[in-house]
Amino acid sequence: EPEVTQTPSHQVTQMGQEVILRCVPISNHLYFYWYRQILGQKVEFLVSFYNNEISEKSEIFDDQFSVERPDGSNFTLKIRSTKLEDSAMYFCASSVHGTGGSQPQHFGDGTRLSIL
Residues at the site binding another protein, with contacts judged by CB under 8 A: 4, 31, 33, 35, 41-45, 48, 55-56, 58, 89, 91, 95, 97-100, 102, 104-110
Nearest residue (CB) to another protein, 14 versus 27: 27
Give residue 54's Cα distance to chain centre. Answer: 12
Give me the phi and psi of 49, to 5 degrees please. Answer: -145, 130
Query: Cβ of 82: how many Cβ atoms within 10 Å?
Result: 21
Q: Report the nearest approach of another protein to the CB of residue 21 (Å).
A: 14
Q: Report the nearest approach of another protein to the CB of residue 20 (Å).
A: 20
Give residue 84's Cα distance to chain centre. Answer: 18
Q: Report the nearest approach of another protein to the CB of residue 81 (Å).
A: 25
Show Cβ contacts of residue 1 under 8 Å, excluding neighbours closer than 6 positions. Answer: none
Nearest residue (CB) to another protein, 10 versus 16: 10
Nearest residue (CB) to another protein, 50 versus 64: 50
Do the beta carbons of residue 20 and residue 7 sit within 8 Å? no
